[in-house]
């Protein structure tokens, strides 16, 4: 449809708007109308134009245009137009907050919402989630007299459930006189999300009609909280299993490390492979150390032309990092750059970790720099990467920059920082960061933090101080922590502390022959050859062999 100035004066405005086939036509009409705009423009034209623009609001650019057009209508009092705009915002998952802010503007202008308006904004509050704003909408709902509307009540219940306010959700649920399957399922979802599976099961057992979503909610709820026995009991008897159920079961077994059961569920799926279930199994493989199987799954998906989701890509990246496979690392990076997968924030964070593990710190740093929005996990990944590659000062500088940007470090961040100090022997800095972690941020140290500190002090020869740190926090010392002390004792020839460290290691992990070799070499480095021979005999008696990568210190022969 081509529009000219001459035809504009002949055809009625509504006919132009009704005949418009796309957003381009509507923009032409809008431009011509503005050109011939009378002093007092008729509101009905803008109302009709906006309504037609919203018809094409599936594209974000069109929704933006609709929003700008709406802002040129300062005195719009048409509830239907306001509600249509809120509904358009709700259709885009990145615009839920605009639903809430538009509703707030509507309230400020004194425009009475409809029941449908309330249901839309409550839906948006639940999906953000925005519990505080949802309570404000609830208060407005009480004033409006729509609280008795069954659809609105269900939307209110669903909002509270999604925001984690299960007690408020239950109050609404109890107030619904004629509850349908949607209301029952929404309340069950709320309990399942909060981990209150006993309450969820009570409702499930006592409700009348159930639909497939109710069954899926229960199965997924049990699976998410690790009760795979209960999940399996329902899964076995339910009809109409779908990809949500399969993904929940595969992910649930994956969290427990039961890869074989996850694979069994996947193999029982009768419909063709789909992106979600394939991604779930791939992630299960990756998170449980089955890196090669994860890569094989990724390659099968590529050959079968199955869409690679960000979940699948993160799993493949993680598996590649475990294998330190440089060739695969380059291939995955190329695939992402070619658009085989949406490059989400999580994917970029995983790429930093993979590039570091595969030895390419420059690519990891490049990825960090091209990211627009860097969060705590981005900084933590890059700090750990610098530490692993011996770039201790870069790691510390990045940590300081992270603090300047107002990001609060977590336990993982400090593992990277302390590791950086340890590898470069920065004793004062390491002790200061450990103090900052415990005193300023109140973070309870993990065994990994103690290992870094023991390694740091041990490398500097401060063995007694390292041992005191372990004794003060003996419950947090694991095999790696004691192993760091034993290795330091070997370097500095401290037999007494070496024996103490070895004794704890033999109790924690009696099958690790490397600890026996370290102790024997500690004796040998102090010319205690008889003691070293005794350790070797003990290993022989236990049927142990010297692990590859270790060597015995031999007595010099004259």
Residues 6 or more apart whose Cβ sits within 8 Å of residue 528: 495
Instruction: Please report, for the chain, the start and end positions of each structural domain, with discontinuous segments joined by +.
Output: 273-373
pTM for the whole structure? 0.80
8 A C-beta contact, residue 421 and residue 384 = no
8 A C-beta contact, residue 57 and residue 66 = yes
DSSP string, 228-249: HHHHHHHHHH-SS--HHHHHHH
Instruction: Report the residue count for the chain.
Output: 558
User: Alpha-carbon distance 344 to 351, whole Å?
Assistant: 11
Q: Note every long-range contact of 505-509, with CB atoms under 8 Å and residues 24 or more positions apart, other chains counting.
A: 505/479, 508/478, 508/479, 508/482, 509/479
8 A C-beta contact, residue 73 and residue 48 = no
Could you tell me which of 289, 327, 339 has the C-alpha nearest to residue 313?
339
8 A C-beta contact, residue 470 and residue 450 = yes
Q: By three-state DSSP, how is residue 159 classified?
A: helix
Residues 6 or more apart whose Cβ sits within 8 Å of residue 259: 253, 284, 285, 288, 290
User: Alpha-carbon distance 466 to 454, whole Å?
Assistant: 5
User: Alpha-carbon distance 17 to 29, whole Å?
Assistant: 8
8 A C-beta contact, residue 310 and residue 346 = yes
Residues 6 or more apart whose Cβ sits within 8 Å of residue 450: 469, 470, 473, 476, 477, 481
For the chain, list residues with pLDDT below 70.
1-22, 25-26, 29-46, 57-61, 74, 546-558
- At 226, give phi and psi (nearest 5°): 80, 5
Residues 6 or more apart whose Cβ sits within 8 Å of residue 512: 479, 505
User: Alpha-carbon distance 157 to 173, whole Å?
Assistant: 6
Count helices and strands in the chain by DSSP H and E runs: 33, 0
Neighbours of 149 (CB within 10 A): 18
User: Alpha-carbon distance 134 to 139, whole Å?
Assistant: 9
8 A C-beta contact, residue 197 and residue 225 = yes
Where are the extended beta strands (E) located within 13-119?
none
User: Alpha-carbon distance 323 to 493, whole Å?
Assistant: 35
For the stretch 500-558, pLDDT in tens is: 999 999 889 888 888 888 888 888 888 888 888 888 888 887 787 766 555 655 444 33
8 A C-beta contact, residue 444 and residue 412 = no
Neighbours of 95 (CB within 10 A): 20
């Amino acid at each position: 449809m081509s529009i000219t100035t001459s035809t504009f004066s002949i055809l009625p405005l509504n006919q132009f708007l009704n005949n418009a086939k796309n957003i381009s036509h509507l923009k032409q009409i809008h431009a011509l109308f503005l050109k011939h705009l009378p002093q007092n423009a008729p509101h009905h034209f803008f109302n009709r134009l906006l309504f037609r623009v919203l018809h094409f609001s599936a594209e974000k650019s069109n929704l933006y245009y609709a929003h700008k057009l709406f802002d040129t209508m300062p005195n719009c009092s048409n509830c239907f137009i306001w509600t249509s705009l809120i509904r358009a915002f709700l259709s885009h998952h990145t615009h839920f907050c605009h639903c809430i802010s538009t509703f707030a503007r509507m309230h400020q202008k004194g425009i009475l919402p409809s029941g449908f308006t309330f249901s839309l904004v409550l839906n948006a509050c639940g999906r953000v989630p925005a519990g505080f704003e949802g309570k404000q909408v609830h208060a407005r709902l009480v004033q409006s007299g729509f609280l008795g509307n069954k659809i609105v009540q269900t939307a209110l219940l669903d909002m509270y459930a999604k925001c984690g306010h299960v007690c408020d959700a239950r109050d609404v649920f109890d107030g619904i006189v004629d509850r349908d399957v949607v209301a029952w399922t929404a309340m069950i979802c709320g309990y399942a999300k909060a981990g209150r599976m006993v309450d969820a099961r009570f409702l499930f057992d006592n409700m009348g009609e159930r639909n497939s979503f109710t069954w899926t909610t229960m199965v997924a709820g049990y699976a998410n909280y690790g009760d795979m026995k209960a999940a399996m009991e329902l899964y076995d008897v339910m009809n109409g299993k779908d990809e949500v159920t399969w993904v929940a079961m595969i992910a649930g077994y994956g969290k427990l490390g039961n890869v074989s059961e996850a694979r069994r569920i996947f193999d029982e799926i009768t419909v063709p492979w789909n992106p979600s279930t394939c991604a779930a199994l791939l992630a299960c493989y990756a998170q449980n150390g089955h890196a090669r199987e994860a890569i094989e799954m990724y390659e099968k998906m590529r050959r079968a032309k199955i869409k690679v989701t960000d979940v699948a890509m993160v799993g493949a990246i993680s598996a590649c990092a475990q294998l330190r496979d440089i060739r695969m690392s380059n291939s995955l990076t190329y695939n992402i750059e070619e658009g085989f997968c949406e490059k989400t924030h999580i994917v970029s964070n995983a790429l930093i970790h993979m590039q570091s593990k595969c030895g390419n710190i420059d690519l990891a740093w490049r990825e960090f720099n091209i990211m627009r929005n860097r969060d705590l996990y981005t900084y933590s990944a890059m700090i750990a990467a610098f530490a692993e590659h011996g770039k201790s000062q870069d790691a510390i500088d990045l940590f300081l920059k992270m603090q300047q940007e107002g990001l609060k470090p977590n336990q993982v961040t400090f593992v990277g920082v302390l590791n950086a100090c340890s590898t470069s022997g920065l004793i004062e800095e390491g002790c200061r960061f450990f103090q900052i972690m415990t005193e300023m941020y109140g973070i309870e140290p993990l065994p990994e933090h103690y290992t870094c500190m023991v390694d740091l002090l041990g490398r500097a020869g401060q063995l007694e101080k390292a041992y005191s740190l372990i004794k003060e926090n003996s419950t947090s010392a694991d095999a790696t922590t004691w192993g760091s002390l034993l290795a330091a004792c070997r370097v500095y020839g401290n037999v007494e502390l070496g024996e103490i460290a070895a004794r704890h290691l033999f109790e924690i992990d009696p099958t690790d022959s490397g600890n026996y070799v370290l102790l024997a070499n500690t004796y040998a480095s102090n010319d205690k050859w008889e003691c070293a021979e005794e350790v070797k005999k003990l290993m022989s008696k236990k049927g142990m062999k010297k692990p590859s990568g270790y060597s015995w210190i031999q007595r010099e022969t004259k």
